[in-house]
Structure 1
Amino acid sequence: MSDEAQDEAPVVEVFGRMVATLREAAGYRQAELARATYGLSATRLNQIERGTGHPPTLANAIALDAALNSDDLLTRLWKHVTSRIFPAWSQPFMDFESTAVEIRKYLVQFVPGLLQTEDYARAVLRLGRALRDEAQLEERVRGRLGRQERLTGPDAPHLWVVLDEAVIRRPVGGPDSMRQQLARLLATEHHDRINVQILPFGEGEHPGMGGSLTLLTMPDKRKVAYTEGADVGRMIEDPTEVGQCAITYDLQQARALPVGMSMNMIREAMEGLDRARFPSSARALRLAKVQSQQFRGRRLRGGGEHRGAGRGMA
Structure 2
Amino acid sequence: MTVNIRKLDPSASPLDYYGYELRRAREAAGLTLAQLGSIVFCTGSFIGMIETAARVPQREFSERVDAALGTDGLFSRLVGLVLRSQLPSWFQPYAEMEAKAAYISTYQAQLVDGLLQTEAYARTVLGLRDDAGLDSKVAARLERQRILEREEPPATWVVLSEAVLHQQVGGRAVMREQLAHLLTMQQRAWVSVQVLPFTAGAHTGLMGSYALLRFDKEPDIVYTEDFVQGHMTANPQAVKEGSVRYDQLQAAALSAEDSAALIARVMEERYGDEPGAVGRDMA
TM-score, normalization by structure 1: 0.63
**2: distance between equivalents of 1:213 and 1:263?**
22
> Alignment length, in residue pairs?
225
User: Which among 259, 266, 269 is matched to residue 266 of structure 2?
Assistant: 269
Moved segments of 4+, more than 3 Å? 10-13, 17-23, 80-83
Q: Name the residue aligned to 1:95.
A: 96
Q: Name the residue aligned to 1:184.
A: 181
User: Which among 16, 27, 35 is matched to residue 14 of structure 1?
Assistant: 16
Q: Name the residue aligned to 1:154.
A: 151
Q: Name the residue aligned to 1:52.
A: 57
Q: Name the residue aligned to 2:44.
A: none
1:135-214 maps to which residues of 2 (within 5 A)?
135-214=132-211
In proportion to residue count, which structure has more helix? 1
Q: Cα deviations across residues 222-251 of structure 1 (Å, max 9, x unaligned)?
A: 210101234421111111111111111111
**2: distance between equivalents of 1:135 and 1:275?**
32
- 1:97 positional shift: 0.5
**1: distance between equivalents of 2:179 and 2:258?**
15
- Pair member with larger Rg: 1
Q: 1:275 to 1:112 in 2, by over 3 A?
A: closer
**2: distance between equivalents of 1:13 and 1:223?**
31
- 1:176 positional shift: 0.5
Say what the alpha-carbon RMSD is for the aligned residues: 3.3
Letter in structure 2 aligned against 1:265? L
Segments of structure 1 that go 5 or more residues without pairing to the other structure are 1-9, 24-46, 56-66, 69-73, 280-314
- 1:12 positional shift: 4.8
User: Which among 223, 226, 232 is matched to residue 223 of structure 2?
Assistant: 226
Q: Name the residue aligned to 2:125.
A: 124
**2: distance between equivalents of 1:201 and 1:86?**
33
Contact 2:83 2:139 in 1 (8 A): no
**1: distance between equivalents of 2:271 and 2:83?**
41
Secondary structure (helix, strand or coil) at the match of 1:196 reads: strand
TM-score, normalization by structure 2: 0.70
Secondary structure (helix, strand or coil) at the match of 2:92 reads: helix
Contact 1:54 1:143 in 2 (8 A): no
Secondary structure (helix, strand or coil) at the match of 1:195 reads: strand
Contact 2:212 2:222 in 1 (8 A): yes
